[in-house]
Structure 1
Amino acid sequence: MLVLETNEYQELSAQELKSALWEAANVLRGSAVDRTDWKGYILPLLFFKRISDVWDEETSEAKEIYGDVDPFQFPEAHRFVLPDGSHWNDVRGLASNVGAALQKAMQEIERANPDTLFRVFGSADWGNKEKFSDELLKDLIEGFSEIQLGNQAVSTDALGDAYEYLVGKFADVTRRNKAGEFYTPRSVVRMMVEILDPKEGESIYDPACGTGGMLLGAIEHVTRKGGDARRFYGKIYGQEKNLTTSAIARMNLVLHGIEDFQVAREDTLRDPAFTDSSTGGLATFDCVIANPPFSLKEWGRDLWEADPWGRAMYGIPPESYGDYAFVQHMIASMAPTGNSRMAVVLPQGALFRKSAEGSIRQALLERDMVEAVIGLAPNLFYGTQLAGCVVILRRKKPESRKNKVLIIDASNLFRKGRAQNFLDQEHSDQIVASYRAFEDVEDRAKVATLDEIKKEGWTLNISRYVLPPIGQDIPPLPEAVEAFKTALADARAAEDHLRKVLVEGGWLQ
């Protein structure tokens, strides 16, 4: 194994690191690798470089203690095992068959660390020479080689932030390809976590964990509050269907310094990964949080007709809308006692659609599990321009909130961007403050009783309870009249054109 001596490096600033990493990633620009697939290659490379650089630092520290000896004699000096021939510099030194060597090195590292790095590098096809010539891979590796990623050059927090930055950049690149299915904007994550308020020592579970942002958000929340995030270790659980994305989540947690977590790569609705042998049911958790895919089709309704885990206790959702399948899975995953609670992102249609979804929603309301509904602005999430909402449910509400639901209209809390809207910290703070106050606020929030909701037909459509300010977005009368005249003229012209087409085609006499 080739090992470079570790020198004292000047610590990179957060912005310098982000810029350097994105510049290295751009080596793929113009290559046969589709930009929507970059994340599956760049993020594993970043992780490989990090653990190699840290291994070098650990080796240097061991030499200072034990002298100039074979580093393999002191495995306890290293967080991860790097098998012989599987170091970054081993791959960097090759002139040919670089992709095959890279793939082999990553596989050997996974095998040598089965408890911590299982499947962490994903399924990238590094050996595909139609995608990766030796020249392209060597350029890519050299770009990353110029960035020192050991602990001396980059702190865990800085590297974790840079990693999240890259995930966000890749989500931006693939916005038109449902990137929102694996990435939730950090401001939305922070708002949801602030509302759930996880405590140190509690367990947390994300059944649609994507790149792990929700899990990290919960840990960071505890740290901000002065708690010890290490008390989360062994109590962090995530499940993600996509192989590449689940690998990214594992890398994300490791790069943030998190130890002893479980991220399973399985289909949550068809094959839940976390079960409790003592009860024969699903494992349960103190906090459950997720942003599942909006209105997932073909989600597995046929299996739920006889679900062995008993998740369809409130009804079976329609085949074309999987929203309430995720909701019911999350409810079944909430601990039956204590202060268990959950927060889920849903499309706003789930608040008022009828039929099977209406029956499920009614059942949840009648059992007094829905605590709050927060309507968000449109176009906040990657991959969809639809307005989403956050629904908070509790197994047991505080006495003062029983038989009530707080409905918040936060649709005007956003910063408009060119291609996407953004929920800034000030907006998030306002939403959290409204939730904690749990009181009526004109044009913003309504505490609706279950009787009031029943009279509305069990709908949670936000506009039924919170009306926008009168006069909002209403133009001056002269402008309105002129706009009406223009629209009327356009409508008449379109009608005349349609009549002409129908007559000429023989459809209208």
Structure 2
Amino acid sequence: MLQNSPELKSKIDQLWNKFWSSGISNPLTAIEQITYLLFMKRLDELDLKRKSDAEWTGEKYTSKFDGIWVPPEHRTKLSGRESAVELVEIFAHDRRKYGIDKCTLRWSDFKRMQAEEMLQHVQSKVFPFLKDLNGAESNFTHHMKNAVFIIAKPALLVEAVKTIDDIFEVMERDSRENGQAFQDIQGDVYEMLLSEIATAGKNGQFRTPRHIIKLMADLVQPQLGHNIADPACGSGGFLLGAYQYIVTQLAIKAGTRDLAPDEDGFTRTSVAAALTEKAQAILTSSLWGYDIDATMVRLGLMNLMMHGIDEPHIDYKDTLSKSYTEESEYDIVMANPPFTGSIDKGDINENLQLATTKTELLFVENIYRLLKKGGTACVIVPQGVLFGSGGAFKTLRQLLVDRCDLKAVITMPSGVFKPYAGVSTAIMLFTKVWGPKDKVTQPATENVWFYEMAADGYSLDDKRSKQEGNGDLQDIVVKYHSRNVATSSDRTAKCFMVPRTEIADEKNNFDLSLSRYKANVFEEVHYDAPGVILDRLIQAEVGDVDETELNKVQSGIIRELLALKGMVG
């Protein structure tokens, strides 16, 4: 992690400060521009590596930088009635007149240019090529259509390119010396950049810490072939978390033995070398993300592509609106939907039954609808969802208890989302049993497992510094997967089971707050007798003085203490 590489952190701070001092001070704008540069660098590096690997193994590989590229605006518009001969002539004409040799679009080629030439080349050729990378019909090209390269100062581009080269050099050295996968270090770099968004975004959106994503993946255990979604995906952290979990499990099954636990105690690798081409295709086609912020969609697409997912399914969609009609599609949903937001009543999908405009409630209901029967969700909610007294709050909790098997409620301390917000949150884990229109003949939940997370391995202040150990993270994983009613009955413990009948009774009325069911432990405290305490106070004031001398004192605090001593005997 970057906390262990001051040099890497320093380089990223330098990069950030260069953008800031050049007038690009909006964190999200700066991150988007830096991401474009990181993407250009990574594209070149990955392409050269794949080319080298193919030469070594004798396999055929077509480089993204082989041949001639004609910018879209210079391609002759076709009517569809052209003959094969005419098409050949048209393409040949476009290539001759407007064609750009793709090898000049490589990072390793343009970084050697002079400042003015480099800026003009990247603005007019490299960036348009990047936008057109996956072909006119691709999801990536569609979402990159409105992307703008706003670096206008040649000096900033030159400095940024040099700093990114330095960052990659440190990353490669760290990878060699510490045995950490290069893609994992790259993930750390990206996380560091994203952490610069130090305030909650629109509608209460904020980044989910990566160790919490890893925890949730270990709880839900996604498998190859599962359809996995995040209906409010931001920069794609949960999709990446599911991808890395699956890749790691496949690597372990394939015989990989040298994977050491990371600083949070989780075993992870991003390296998909153990995946067959078929497994990679299955995995890539099973990850689906949606967001209502076009910038976050672009960041999410590039984030996943930089981790080896060539054509991610991340789209611009409001998953609460009438235009989003998916239902019963997914085996796994992992999400941290926006808190404290609300949606216009007229825009809400009519399939959502809760009488509310609160996004934190509507998203949970929508996630339930998105799950296939037997599908499982792992969702972060503000703790108010667990005990809110409004009708929609109670209706949602009853839905989760009756129509789903509500497996776990894990409360988290309020510092987990600092510096973005100090809100207290919880993880809810549930499996869909009954559909929205099914008649519930038997409530799906028998027992709910509660866990009170006290620490997550990081300080709970704005700095969120790494602490010794990993807090409760690994304990949660172990205890969740080994939970049973017989061993989880102690209500004074960190975790315990509560039967559905108790949660649903008239007194509790589907309240899911841990404190409702936890038994308080009172420690007996022994105090000294009042006379002994008063003697100690008197001695502190005057030292060792005999009683005769003390009785001569006519006023002041000593007189009052002596009077009190006389009263208590």
Pick the TM interval, shorter chain: 0.7 to 0.9
Aligned partners of 1:145 and 1:475: how far apart in 2?
Answer: 65
Taking the aligned partners of 2:290 and 2:64, their CA distance within structure 1 comes to 28
TM-score, with length taken from structure 1: 0.74
User: Against the structure 1 CA distance between its residues 58 and 363, is the aligned structure 2 distance closer, same or farther, given a 3 Å change threshold?
Assistant: closer
Corresponding letter in the other structure for 2:512: L
Aligned AA (1:240): D
The residue number in structure 2 matching 1:221 is 245
Q: Secondary structure at the match of 1:379?
A: helix
Residue 265 of structure 2 corresponds to: none
Once the 2 structures are TM-superposed, how far is the Cα of residue 249 of structure 1 from its aligned partner? 1.6
Q: 2:366 aligns with which of 329, 332, 337?
A: 329
Is the contact between residue 200 and residue 421 of structure 2 (CA under 8 Å) also seen in structure 1? no
Equivalent residue number for residue 461 of structure 1: 513
Q: Is contact 1:368-1:403 (8 Å) kept?
A: no
1:435 to 480, 505, 524: 480
Q: How far apart are the structure 2 equivalents of 1:252 and 1:282? A: 27
Q: Separation in 2 of the partners of 1:300 and 1:418?
A: 35
Match of 2:378 in 1: 343
Alignment deviations for residues 379-406 of structure 1 (CA, whole Å, 9 cap, x no partner): 1014110111001110139x99842222
> Which residue type is aligned with residue 391 of structure 1?
M
Match of 1:389 among 418, 426, 447: 426
1:371 to 403, 407, 421: 407
Partner of 1:41: 33
- Provide the residue aligned with 1:87 in structure 2: 106
Query: Counterpart of 1:52?
Result: 44
1:482-502 per-residue CA deviation (whole Å, 9 max, x = no partner) reads xxxxxxxxxxxxxxxxxxxxx
C-alpha contact (below 8 Å) 1:374/1:409 kept by paired residues: yes
Partner residue in 1 for 2:327: 282
Distance of 1:150 and 1:64 partners within structure 2? 26
- Displacement of 1:219 after TM fit? 2.0
Q: Which of the two has higher C-alpha Rg? A: 2
Matched-pair contact (CA < 8 Å) for 1:209–1:238: yes
CA distance in 2, matches of 1:41, 1:464: 48
Q: Distance in 2 between matches of 1:182 and 1:329?
A: 20
2:209 counterpart residue number: 185
> Residue 356 and residue 58 in structure 1: after superposition, are their counterparts in 2 closer, same or farther (change >3 A)?
closer
Distance change >3 Å, CA 119–CA 471, structure 1 → 2: farther
Structure 1's unaligned 5+ residue stretches are 1-12, 67-73, 276-280, 482-509
**Local SS of the residue matching 1:176:** coil
Cα distance in 2, alignment partners of residues 63 and 445 from structure 1: 55
Q: Give the number of aligned pairs.
A: 439
Q: Secondary structure at the match of 1:33?
A: coil
Residue identity opposite 2:127 in structure 1 = M
For residue 303 of structure 1, what is the amino acid of its counterpart?
Answer: D
1:316 to 352, 355, 360: 355
Q: Which residue of 1 aligns with 2:336?
A: 291
Q: Deviations over 1:196-217 (max 9, x none)?
A: 1111221211111122221121
2:450·2:496 contact (CA, 8 Å) conserved in 1? yes
Change (3 A) 1:475 1:151: same
What is the identity percentage for the equivalent residue pairs of Structure 1 and Structure 2?
Answer: 21
Give the deviation of 1:87 after TM superposition: 3.0
SS in structure 2 of the partner of residue 173 of structure 1: coil
1:197–1:221 CA contact under 8 A, matched in 2: yes
Q: CA deviation at 1:86?
A: 3.2
Q: What value does the CA root-mean-square deviation take over the aligned residues?
A: 4.0
Aligned residue for 1:328, secondary structure, equals helix
Following superposition, the deviation at residue 292 of structure 1 comes to: 1.0
Matched with 1:111 is 132
Q: CA deviation at 1:417?
A: 4.5
**CA–CA distance in structure 2, aligned partners of residues 63 and 200 of structure 1:** 30
- Stretch deviating more after TM superposition (344-353 or 108-117): 108-117
Distance 1:477 1:327 in 2: 54
Please give the per-residue CA displacement for 1:413-463, whole angstroms capped at 9, x wherever unaligned: 654354255796341111122322142343322322222112202111221
Q: Does structure 2 retain, via aligned residues, the 8 Å contact 1:343–1:392?
A: yes
Q: Distance in 2 between matches of 1:80 and 1:467?
A: 68
Q: 1:44–1:119: structure 2 CA closer, same or farther, 3 Å change rule?
A: farther
TM-score w.r.t. length of structure 2:
0.67
Distance 2:427 2:323 in 1: 23
Relative distance call for 1:293 and 1:316 in structure 2 (3 A) is same
**Equivalent residue of 2:416, what SS?**
coil
Tell me, what secondary structure is at the counterpart of 1:344? strand
Asked if 1 retains the 8 angstrom alpha-carbon contact of 2:406 and 2:430, the reply is yes
The Cα shift of 1:366 comes to 2.7
User: Are the equivalent residues in 2 in contact too, given 1:378–1:411 (CA < 8 A)?
Assistant: no
Q: Which moved more, 1:165-174 or 1:154-163?
A: 154-163
Tell me, what secondary structure is at the counterpart of 1:357? helix
Shift of 1:376: 0.7
Is 1:174 aligned with 2:174?
Answer: no
CA contact (8 A) 1:91 1:101 kept: no
Where does residue 496 of structure 2 map in the other structure? Answer: 446
